[in-house]
Amino acid sequence: MSIIEFHQTSKHFGDLKVLDEVDLSIEQGEVVVLIGPSGSGKSTLLRCINGLEQITGGDLIVDGISVREGGRQLRRIRQEAGMVFQQFNLFPQMTALQNVAFGPRKVRGLGRAEAEAQALELLDKVGLKERAHHVPSALSGGQQQRVAIARALAVRPKVMLFDEPTSALDPELKQEVLTVMRQLAQEGMTMVVVTHEMGFARQVGTRLIFMEHGKISVDGNPVEVITNPPSDRLKDFLQHVE
């Protein structure tokens, strides 16, 4: 069974069709890199997986549960699919440690001591153990995004969804985030990543998907697709991002 299955999935915003009958299956252990022009529906596709956007047609099954179920079932999906946002979205009133411990405590019901011990381990893993007691505003963008990754991992998801995780970062801060993501992929985490970092796509991606107008127009091996773009529009697109 695939971990994520799109079946003729559509998403409309009013009259605007943003996802157009998408069929897509993602297996455990895949690192899927999603690229495409602005407005092609990449974020929407990602946000349908964890139900931040409601699909309007077809079905979408995550870890055996349909996103259409809503309520408690949707919350189960969200625990299995962690998300990292472009703008980090750390809770500003909490320290890095509290941010990371928050999910285990409030979602998984862990005690404070246990949750914070696990949080410290995760912060160590993203290289921020010594920043544990800093609030987000005292951290650099790259550090904030690494805390956000640790926060998502703390809920113990099976899949990680990344929506342009390095787009809000200065070039010199992108690498520290990409390094953490690369490490995560090496550990076998299933990942769906919207990014324009083609180096990451080539080295880490197991699959590259090019979206246009709410449809998947190219789906293949990253190295092959980047070296030999099967469509002119993808070729154009690649020239613009690299």
Partner 1 sequence: MEIDWSVIPGFLPQLAAGARVTILIALAGLVGGTILGLIAGLMRAYGGRVLNAIAFIYIELIRGTPIVVQVMFLYFAMPVLTGLRVDPMTAAILAIVVNAGAYIAEIVRGAFLSIPRGLTEAGLAMGLPQWKVLTHIVGPLAFRRLIPPLGNQFIVSLKDTSLFIVIGVGELTRTGQEIMASNFRAVEIWTAVAVIYLILTGTLTAILRLIENRMRIL
User: Which entry of ligand ADP, partner 1, Mg ion, none binds 52, CB below 5 to 8 A by partner kind?
Assistant: partner 1
Is 82 a binder of partner 1 (CB under 8 A)?
yes
The 3-class secondary structure across 101-157, one letter per residue, is: HHHHHHCCCCCHHHHHHHHHHHHHHCCCHHHCCCCHHHCCHHHHHHHHHHHHHHCCC
Please tell me the distance from the alpha carbon of residue 222 to that of residue 31, in angstroms, as a whole number: 10
User: Which entry of Mg ion, ligand ADP, partner 1, none binds 13, CB below 5 to 8 A by partner kind?
Assistant: ligand ADP
Is 162 a binder of partner 1 (CB under 8 A)?
no
Please tell me the distance from the alpha carbon of residue 146 to that of residue 121, in angstroms, as a whole number: 13
137 vs 239, which CB is nearer to partner 1?
Answer: 137
Site for Mg ion in 22-81 (CB under 5 A): 43
CA gyration radius, the chain: 18
- Structure-token match 């951290």, residue found: 139
Size of the site for Mg ion (CB under 5 A): 1
| Adjacency order of strands within the sheet including 159-163 | 81-84, 159-163, 190-194, 31-35, 207-212, 215-220
**Closest by CA position to 129, among listed 161, 152, 159, 95:** 95
**What is the widest separation between alpha-carbon atoms in the chain?**
55
109 vs 171, which CB is nearer to partner 1?
Answer: 109
Burial track 138-172 (b if 16+ CB lie within 10 A, e otherwise):
ebebbbbbbbbbbbbbbbebebbbbbbbbeebeee
User: Which entry of ligand ADP, Mg ion, partner 1, none binds 89, CB below 5 to 8 A by partner kind?
Assistant: partner 1
Pull the structure tokens for residue 175. Answer: 């690498």
133 contacts 123 by C-beta, under 8 angstroms: no
Is 76 a binder of partner 1 (CB under 8 A)?
yes
Is 102 a binder of partner 1 (CB under 8 A)?
yes
User: Which entry of ligand ADP, partner 1, Mg ion, none binds 85, CB below 5 to 8 A by partner kind?
Assistant: partner 1
- Least distance to partner 1, CB of residue 153, Å: 11
Site for ligand ADP in 157-176 (CB under 6 A): none
Is 54 a binder of partner 1 (CB under 8 A)?
no
User: Which entry of ligand ADP, Mg ion, partner 1, none binds 132, CB below 5 to 8 A by partner kind?
Assistant: none
Question: Contacting partner 1 (CB under 8 A), which of 31, 35, 41, 85?
Answer: 85
Site for ligand ADP in 27-86 (CB under 6 A): 36, 38-44
63 contacts 47 by C-beta, under 8 angstroms: no
What DSSP designation does 68 have?
G
Point out which residues bind partner 1 (CB under 8 A).
50, 52, 75-76, 78-79, 81-83, 85, 87, 89-93, 102-103, 106-107, 137, 148, 151-152, 155
Point out which residues bind ligand ADP (CB under 6 A).
13, 16, 18, 36, 38-44
